[in-house]
Amino acid sequence: MESQEYALMDAVEHQLWWYRVLHLHLTDALKHAQGRLLDAGCGTGGFLARLHEARADLVLEGLEFDPNAAAIAAEKAQATITQGSILAMPYPPARFDAAISADVLCHDGVDPAQALAELHRVLKPGGLLVLNMPAYAWMASAHDRRVHNARRTTPGEMRRWLRAAGFVDVQVRFWNSLLFPAMVLQRKLLARGNAASDVAMISPIINAILLAIARMERHLPALPWGGSILATARVPRSSSDRTA
């Protein structure tokens, strides 16, 4: 990802509506997690900082490929931050009880199968994995090019990736559904030809409205569309669990 995008992320991830709602969805998915957690591709550490506030009982670690972003995360988050690649993580097998990776498998430098194999390796038997990915290849825009996204996906594809990597209890759903029509309008019509990043602070009033709508969605049944896809899965506890 371009260095300027990390700077933008660092500046807005504590207040921009999209990051705040993403962090709520990730925290919700981790409500039963215990022990040691890894944020694989932690960026500038915004989610780890939020998670520490919500779950001081967890032992938090972060892995980030970009050394400058890793340094920012080390200052921002109450976590141990390591610089390294999700494709060859510098951890022993079965180190973590849970792991998250938000909008990392979409990057052009990441092979999803190899990254999932590494996440499977470093999780304990029964360990929880939470993934977030951008939805729909046809929604690719200038923002994707700025952050070096090579892929956007579907729930079916995410299920296949996770099962092929050996995960079980796979659950996949869309989010950012209520605002998705506005997202399509903005990206495919209004911003056509605009190379600016989506990661930028907006009017506080508009930010508050979008945040309220997106937070309300958390309490509604999942809809069959959305701008992002959240998946949970776990490592089998035994060989019989693997084949169940």
Picking from 47, 72, 69, the residue whose alpha carbon sits closest to that of residue 58 is 47
Structure tokens at 78: 């109450």
Query: What are the residue boundaries of the structural domains of the chain, listed by start?
Result: 3-243
CB 114 within 8 A of CB 168: no
The per-residue pLDDT for range 225-242, each reduced to its tens digit, is 999 999 999 999 987 776
Mean pLDDT of 200-219: 93
H or E segment and range at residue 60:
strand 59-64
The per-residue pLDDT for range 39-53, each reduced to its tens digit, is 999 999 999 999 999
- CA distance linking residue 81 with residue 52, whole number of Å: 14
- CA distance linking residue 98 with residue 76, whole number of Å: 21
pLDDT-based confidence at 158, cuts 50/70/90?
A: very high
CATH homologous superfamily of 3-243 equals Vaccinia Virus protein VP39 (3.40.50.150)
Q: Is the pLDDT of residue 59 over 50?
A: yes
Model confidence, pTM: 0.92
pLDDT-based confidence at 27, cuts 50/70/90?
A: very high
Mean pLDDT of 136-149: 83
pLDDT-based confidence at 244, cuts 50/70/90?
A: very low
The whole-chain average pLDDT of the chain stands at: 92
Q: Is the pLDDT of residue 6 over 50?
A: yes
CB-based contacts of 120, cutoff 8 Å, min separation 6: 129, 165, 166, 167, 235
- CA distance linking residue 176 with residue 22, whole number of Å: 9
Mean pLDDT of 67-79: 94
Q: Is the pLDDT of residue 180 over 80?
A: yes
The per-residue pLDDT for range 84-116, each reduced to its tens digit, is 999 999 999 999 999 999 999 999 999 999 999
Structure tokens at 94: 């079965």
